[in-house]
Amino acid sequence: MKSKNNLQELSLAELIDKYPYIESFLVEQKFPLVRKDLTILEIYHQLSEGEKEDIVIEGEEFLSRVSAYIENMQDFLGEKETGVELLSLLAGNDKDGNQEQYERIDIKTGEIVALLGPTGSGKSRLLADIEWAAQGDSPTGRTILINGEKAAKEWRMNGSKKLVAQLSQNMNFVMDLSVEEFLCLHAESRLLENEHELVKKVIQKANDLAGETFSATSQITSLSGGQSRALMIADTAILSSSPIILIDEIENAGIDREKALDLLVGEEKIVLMATHDPTLALMADKRIVINNGAIVDFIERNNREKDILRDLKAVNDKLAKLRKELRYGKRPSLFD
Ligand SMILES: Nc1ncnc2c1ncn2[C@@H]1O[C@H](COP(=O)(O)OP(=O)(O)OP(=O)(O)O)[C@@H](O)[C@H]1O
């Protein structure tokens, strides 16, 4: 619960600034909002007996109600300190039922981890284990720990407080909405304050990632695969409150993958991505290698690999330039 002392010290103006939704709550409680420079208790003590009766709930008790209301709203909005600092995987079994050869893998906030392995080896399955916060109850038998403990029920059950945001390979919109309407719906559901600014930012960032630009009024059903994906990446990075981001293949989308990853890890989050792409794999701090359904290695990126990444980026830049030239009907200047 919000500490009562803390609420006691804040003036009404400060309180509303910090928790904007409290204003309508106070109005509903018939609490007069005239002196915003005073604290709730100070205002309460200045009320006439009649006004106090209107409010029904008494001073101290009223503060507890305010505190509980803020608590519930933060929970609902997913604003509360998510407090996820550590994601741990405990061994399960491979596709043949053999025990995986590690005890526990720890991933800290701010880390990017790439999942690598041949097609069908179990990368998406591992992402699904994390999304479901598996407790030995998935085909792999793995257990997921959050901050060293089994995931609390609320992570598994509560739709508004999502542990993970997932970006998957196939994304098809079915709603008949414009880009702006769609994003506003998302922002509104999170009761974000500066909704219009954020929506504008999502559209701008998504256009940064996609090749052909689209506008706020474009219908989401008319976006191309790459544009849809760019929109969902920007939406996840800017509007989502989930502490863990799971990405299943950015590479097939025809979008700027490096920018996408930079955008996603801008916030203090844990990012796990399944990939077959060497550049993305080397952009990760750590790599989980999967084979026959089992995690067979957990590797930290070394300095030599950072150098290789730099070379790869130079090659990718050349390829991007070549792609652009060909896309716009120009003769390649690559080797001029
Ligand atoms: N440890 C396991 N035990 C049993 N089944 C598993 C295990 N790991 C993965 N599988 C199953 O194997 C199949 C292929 O796995 P998955 O789709 O995760 O592969 P992938 O590595 O993501 O492939 P791709 O690279 O093609 O996307 C799925 O049906 C998955 O449920």
* Ligand 1 first shell, C-beta below 6 A: 93-95, 117, 119-125, 139-140, 274, 293
How many angstroms separate the alpha carbon of residue 140 from the centre of ligand 1? 9
The pLDDT, as a whole number, for residue 153 is 63
- What residue owns the CA closest to ligand 1's atom 25? 119
- What residue owns the CA closest to ligand 1's atom 18? 122
- What residue owns the CA closest to ligand 1's atom 14? 120
CATH 3.40.50.300 residue spans of the chain? 83-163+242-301
Residue 112 has pLDDT above 80, yes or no: yes
**301-320 as b/e, with b when 16 or more CB fall inside 10 Å?**
beeebeeebeebeeebeeee
% of the chain residues with pLDDT over 70: 87
In which band, very low, low, confident or very high, does the pLDDT at 134 lie, cut at 50, 70 and 90? very high
Q: In the predicted model, what is the mean pLDDT of the chain?
A: 84
Closest ligand 1 atom, CA of 125? 18
The pLDDT, as a whole number, for residue 267 is 62
Residue 84 has pLDDT above 70, yes or no: yes
CB 9 within 8 A of CB 39: yes
Residue 321's contacts (CB-CB under 8 Å, 6 or more residues apart) are 333, 334
- What residue owns the CA closest to ligand 1's atom 9? 122
Which structure tokens are listed for 293? 């359904």
The pLDDT, as a whole number, for residue 11 is 87
The pLDDT, as a whole number, for residue 27 is 83
The pLDDT, as a whole number, for residue 331 is 92
In which band, very low, low, confident or very high, does the pLDDT at 252 lie, cut at 50, 70 and 90? low
How many angstroms separate the alpha carbon of residue 118 from the centre of ligand 1? 10
- Which amino acid is residue 305, in one-letter code? E
Which structure tokens are listed for 92? 């399960």
Nearest alpha-carbon partner for 210 in 191, 195, 224? 224
In which band, very low, low, confident or very high, does the pLDDT at 158 lie, cut at 50, 70 and 90? low
**85-101 as b/e, with b when 16 or more CB fall inside 10 Å?**
eebbbbbbebeeeeebe
Closest ligand 1 atom, CA of 142? 1
Query: HSE on the CB side for 206, CA within 13 Å?
Result: 31
Written in H, E and C, the secondary structure of the chain is CCCHHHHHHCEHHHHHHHCCCHHHHHHHCCCCCCCCCCEHHHHHHHCCHHHHHHHCCCHHHHHHHHHHHHHHHHHHHCCCCCCCCEEEEECCECCCCCECCCCEEEEECCCEEEEECCCCCCHHHHHHHHHCCCECCCCCCCEEEECCEECCHHHHHCCCCCCEEEECCCCCCCCCCEHHHHHHHHHHHCCCCCHHHHHHHHHHHHHHHCCCCCCCCCEHHHCCHHHHHHHHHHHHHHHCCCCEEEEECCHHHCCCHHHHHHHHHCCCCEEEEECCCHHHHHHCCEEEEEECCEEEEEEECCHHHHHHHHHHHHHHHHHHHHHHHHHCCCCCCCCC
How many angstroms separate the alpha carbon of residue 255 from the centre of ligand 1? 26
Which structure tokens are listed for 198? 């954020």
CATH superfamily of 83-163+242-301: P-loop containing nucleotide triphosphate hydrolases (3.40.50.300)
Residue 125 has pLDDT above 70, yes or no: yes
Q: What is the ipTM of this complex?
A: 0.97
- When pLDDT is averaged across residues 234-258 and rounded to a whole number, the result is 80
Closest ligand 1 atom, CA of 95? 3
When comparing pLDDT for 288 and 31, which is higher? 288
When comparing pLDDT for 298 and 263, which is higher? 298
How many angstroms separate the alpha carbon of residue 19 from the centre of ligand 1? 44
How many angstroms separate the alpha carbon of residue 97 from the centre of ligand 1? 13
| Best of 90, 124, 170 for a ligand 1 pocket test (most atoms within 8 Å of beta carbon) | 124
Closest ligand 1 atom, CA of 293? 8
Q: How many CB atoms lie within 10 A of CB 34?
A: 8
In which band, very low, low, confident or very high, does the pLDDT at 4 lie, cut at 50, 70 and 90? very low
CB 263 within 8 A of CB 234: yes
Q: How many CB atoms lie within 10 A of CB 171?
A: 14
How many angstroms separate the alpha carbon of residue 139 from the centre of ligand 1? 9
pLDDT, tens digit, 9 for 90 and up, residues 271-305: 999 998 898 899 999 999 999 999 999 999 999 99
How many angstroms separate the alpha carbon of residue 292 from the centre of ligand 1? 8
How many angstroms separate the alpha carbon of residue 112 from the centre of ligand 1? 21
